[in-house]
Each structure stands twice: as structure tokens, then as C-alpha cells.
Amino acid sequence: MDLTSTLERVAERARRHLTEGHVAGYIPALARVDPSRFGIAVVSVDGQVWTAGDARMPFSIQSISKVFTLTLALGKVGQSLWERIGREPSGSAFNSIVQLEREGGIPRNPFINAGAIVVTDVLLDGRPPRTTIDEILGFVRRRADDPTVAIDDEVARSESETGHRNYSLAHFLASFGRLRNPVDDALSVYFHQCALSMNCVQLARAGLFLAAGGRDPLTGEQVVAAERARRINALMLTCGHYDASGDVAFRIGLPGKSGVGGGILAVVPKRAAIAVWSPGLNANGNSHAGTIALELLADEMGWSVF
């Protein structure tokens, strides 16, 4: 199997849509990113790597980091995590805070912001934010098999300064007694994990264990149990693309998680992990050209879990 020409073709067609997306404006450090960037990387479970475009240019992975912190938290507390977070799609951004209120401060799933903040609170476990941030960074570096993965402190600071909505959510959770660590600690970790800077090759490599039954197929390390990897994939499929999760499942049919930095990590069970990046977003906050590229690639390769 050689995906080189396939990726070039996909990239060429997706790039035609670059101008239709809009770069996220609410985090100043992200708003400055060049909207004409496009990169894609595929890493197969047998270790082959194919790329096209800006696949080696780092970007802010933002919400994609929630996949890694969820994996870490499940490793720490196991199934008991689900006493504090649900596993259902939230229906819509609009409803999330209503649901949070109706449902006693139990976030719908670990990929909406409220849920990810609870995951962060689980990871903190009474320790200083810096220790937890280092733990997350270390985990992602091991998954990417690359010690150069870093956190962009300017982005983290920028998020903190403009993060009123996240402060609101965290205090809302705290008002229900759902956080065990100080709000500021949980948010400090959260803003730093979102500021992880990775390129497409690193990101696809880091997600490879999800395509291989929870085991890193290149190092042999069993990151999580096979059953758990399947379940993380299920959550990515049902909840990984904000309010467009159903539509992405419908059109692409692969588990995936997007971030407002324009990145998407997708998983082809038993075969490969894909990372695509293009900063312009569609109306649902997912990478516009990235989503198109994933759809073209999945279609061409016949990659669908269905």
C-alpha cells in the first residue's frame, strides 16, 4: 500500500476549499495563523508514514488534547470516571449548560469543555498544576515517540486571558461540588493541554494506539486495554466533532476528534491513524478543508467503520 499519490490528490482537492473556512478569532494567538496552510499525515499500524502539504508544521491541537487526557484519566481511575461524566452527545452547544444544570453538574461527555475540565480535575488529584501539565506532556511525547513535542506558553496565556466561558463553566461545575481541586488549578492545566503544539505526523503517531487495540504497535507498549481503546473510539465517533458529530459520522464514518486550531485526529481501526490540519473552520468549528480531506480519503480508501 502506498498512499503518497492518494494524499497528494486529496490535498490538491481539499486546498480548493481553503478560502471557505474562517480561522478561530477568539484566541488572539490562534487568530494570527496563516489560513492557507494544509497538511495531512497517515501512519499505518505497521509503521509506515505518508504525508502531503504542511504535515511537519506544528499547530495548536486544542480540543484534540481531550483524547489524551481522557486516556490518562481512564488509566488512573478506570470506570469510576463515568460517575462524574456521561457518555452521550450533548445535542448542541446551546444546551450544554442547561443540561449541566438539569443533570446536577454531570457533563454529558468528556469532549465538551465541561467534561474535559472534570477530566483535568481527575488528573490533578491534589497535585500542583505544573506536575499534571508535565505528566500530560510526557504522555503525549511518548505517544508521539517524539520528545520535542511542546506546549506553547503564549497560546496558554492567551487562552487564560480570554477564557471567560471556560471560567464560567468551571465555576458552574464547582457550584455543584463537581471539582475537587481549585478552579484556577483545573483551568491552568486545561489551558496548557489545549496549547499543545504538534504537527500532523506527531499527532497521527500519537493516536496510533487507538487504531491498534490500545497497544502502540511500534513500541509494543499496551497503553490501554483493547476494550478501552474501542470505547474511546466510540466516544470520538459520537461526540468528537461538537454539534456536527452525527454529520461527520454520517459522511466519513471514522472516529475522530477536532480542535479549533484546525486539526483533526481520525482513527481507522486495525489500519491507521490520520491527522489533518487546516486552520480555516466551518460553521461548526471543525476544520473546513480538513473535514473535506478526511471525507475524500475515507471514500477513496473505503475506510469506514460501517
Query: Does residue 76 have an active-site annotation?
Result: no
**Do β-strands 256-258 and 196-198 pair in parallel, antiparallel, or remain unpaired?**
unpaired
**Out of 242, 245, 248, 278, which one is annotated catalytic?**
242
Q: Which residues contact 163 (CB under 8 A, 6 or more apart)?
A: 187, 191
Instruction: Choose, from 67, 96, 183, 190, the residue flagged as catalytic.
Output: 190
Q: Is 242 a catalytic residue?
A: yes
Per the rule left: phi > 0, alpha: psi between -120 and 50, beta: everything else, 280 is: beta
Sign of CA dihedral 294, 298, 303, 306: positive
Is residue 190 annotated as part of the catalytic site, yes or no? yes
Shortest separation between residue 212's beta carbon and a second copy, angstroms: 12
Nearer Cβ to a second copy (103/138): 103
286 is in an annotated binding site: no
What's the closest the beta carbon of residue 120 comes to a second copy, in angstroms?
A: 16
Residue nearer to a second copy on the CB measure, 135 or 180 = 180
Q: Residue 113, annotated ligand binder? A: yes
- In the block, cell 480570554 appears at 162
Q: Which residues bind a second copy (CB under 8 A)?
A: 86-92, 94-95, 97-99, 101-102, 108-109, 164-165, 167-172, 174-175, 183, 227, 229-231, 233-235, 237-239, 243-247, 249-251, 253, 255, 269, 299, 304-306
- Active-site annotation holds for 167: no
Per the annotation, does 159 bind a ligand?
A: yes
158 annotated as ligand-binding: no
- Rounded Cα–Cα distance for residues 78 and 81 (Å): 6
C-alpha distances (whole Å) from 306 to each of 23, 76, 207, 256, 299 are: 32, 32, 20, 14, 12
In the set 66, 122, 140, 287, the catalytic residue is 66
Helices (H), 125-182: 129-144, 153-161, 164-175
DSSP tag of 177: T
Enumerate helices (H) and strands (E) in the chain, giving the number of each.
14, 10
Instruction: Tell me how far CA of residue 248 lies from CA of 32, 41, 230, 241, in angstroms.
Output: 27, 19, 18, 7
95 annotated to bind ligand: no
Closest approach, Cβ 233 to a second copy, in A, equals 4
Please tell me which residue in 42, 260, 268, 276 is annotated as part of the active site.
260
CB of 56 to a second copy, least distance (A): 29
At its nearest, how many Å lie between a second copy and the CB of residue 241?
Answer: 10
- Assess whether 66 carries a catalytic annotation: yes
Q: Of residues 60, 63, 96, 278, which has the active-site annotation? A: 63
Q: Residues comprising the binding site?
A: 63, 113, 159, 166, 190, 242, 260
Catalytically active residues are 63, 66, 190, 242, 260
Q: Residues comprising the binding site for substrate?
A: 63, 113, 159, 166, 190, 242, 260
